[in-house]
Amino acid sequence: MSTTWHVLGAGSLGTLWATRLARAAVPVRLILRDTARLQAYETAGGLTLVEHGEAQHYPVPAETPDSIEPINRLLIACKAYDAEKAVAQVASRLAPGAELILLQNGLGSQDAVAAQVPQARCIYASSTEGAFRDGDWRVVFAGHGFTWLGDVGHPVAPIWLEDLSAAGIPHEWSTDILTRLWRKLALNCAINPLTVLHDCRNGGLQEHHCEVATLCGELTELLERCGQPAAAENLQQEVERVIHATAANYSSMHQDVNNRRRTEISYLLGYACKASDRHKLNLPHLNQLQQRLVTHLKRLGLPSD
């Protein structure tokens, strides 16, 4: 019998992973916030994954953080700003040699979690898959993509990647996961805040070419100074390619703001600006962008951290 996957956070990505693992008969359990959420979930009777317009129901078992069963493998599928608190709730249940897979976007939350549970192996992930909730316990698989996983302290791939293959989760073990995360962060910093401030789809940034180019220049300088030259390579070209390829889409940050949800700004632009301060870099446009975004979020009555 293979090791049980505990999935902490039954939102978009947590559901996308839990349902595909369950479909492949890999043992999986959800960890829900509290008894009220658990009761609501049990009333619904499981998770629903909508793929290619077809809904499939999966009665994945669930529990609360204070359940007593030890945790050997834990997928952290909450937002970056919730990760530390969520892990703290289950830290005492981690078995010796436990492994955590961190799906959070941006940077900062992964290191904070890893510092919190030094006894566990923390695997960082960067995903281009896309999913959104269209109801309680119901998720639409919106964009097929890829997930890179890696361990900054240990280059050897874990054996359980075969569970992901069995579940049809496209993935690859990466020995430079930080480079991937930095590259994604830079892309997100060059695109997402501007789509919020200009209230446009990604393609709308084609009309703000100079602003995008200036940001890419500063982000390139930052990545190089942070010891990430590979993440800096042809950044502007890649940003322009993504803007073009995703022209009809709204960025994840634009969607968050539009739905009046908290953004992950502190783990994207906030992280970049702090890193630039640490390295005493002068990146005026990046800093102005953060200030403009914070002001904009405050004006809308949304959290600005």
> Are residues 46 and 9 in contact, defined by beta-carbon separation less than 8 angstroms?
no
How many C-beta atoms lie closer than 10 Å to residue 138's C-beta?
16
In the list 18, 28, 74, 78, the residue contacting ligand NAD (rule: CB under 6 A) is 78
Taking the complex as a whole, the smallest distance from the CB of residue 295 to ligand NAD amounts, in Å, to 23
The span from the CA of 230 to the CA of 254, in Å, is 28
Site for ligand KPL in 201-220 (CB under 6 A): 202
In the list 19, 72, 105, 228, the residue contacting ligand NAD (rule: CB under 6 A) is 105
| Residue 12 contact partner, candidates ligand KPL, ligand NAD, none, CB within 5 to 8 A by sort of partner | ligand NAD
Taking the complex as a whole, the smallest distance from the CB of residue 174 to ligand KPL amounts, in Å, to 17
When asked if residue 103 is in the footprint of ligand NAD (CB under 6 A), the reply is yes
Question: Residue 134 is which amino acid?
Answer: D
Task: Tell which phi-psi region holds residue 102, choosing left (phi > 0), alpha (psi between -120 and 50) or beta.
Answer: beta
Closest CA to 59 of 41, 50, 49, 47: 47
When asked if residue 268 is in the footprint of ligand NAD (CB under 6 A), the reply is no
Three-class SS state of 147 = strand
Structure tokens at 26: 């890999």
| Residue 268 contact partner, candidates ligand NAD, ligand KPL, none, CB within 5 to 8 A by sort of partner | none
Taking the complex as a whole, the smallest distance from the CB of residue 2 to ligand KPL amounts, in Å, to 31
In the list 89, 246, 287, 304, the residue contacting ligand KPL (rule: CB under 6 A) is 246
In the list 23, 29, 33, 285, the residue contacting ligand NAD (rule: CB under 6 A) is 33
In the list 71, 77, 216, 239, the residue contacting ligand NAD (rule: CB under 6 A) is 77
Contacts of residue 229, Cβ cutoff 8 Å, sequence gap at least 6: 223
The span from the CA of 113 to the CA of 130, in Å, is 24
By annotation, the residues acting in catalysis are 184
Which of the ranges 3-11, 71-79, 186-194, 222-230 carries the binding residues for ligand KPL, by CB under 6 A?
A: 186-194
The span from the CA of 10 to the CA of 270, in Å, is 26
When asked if residue 263 is in the footprint of ligand KPL (CB under 6 A), the reply is no
Q: Which residues pair with 102 in a beta bridge?
A: 76, 124
Which residues bind to ligand KPL, rule: CB under 6 A?
Answer: 187-188, 191-192, 202, 242, 246, 251-252
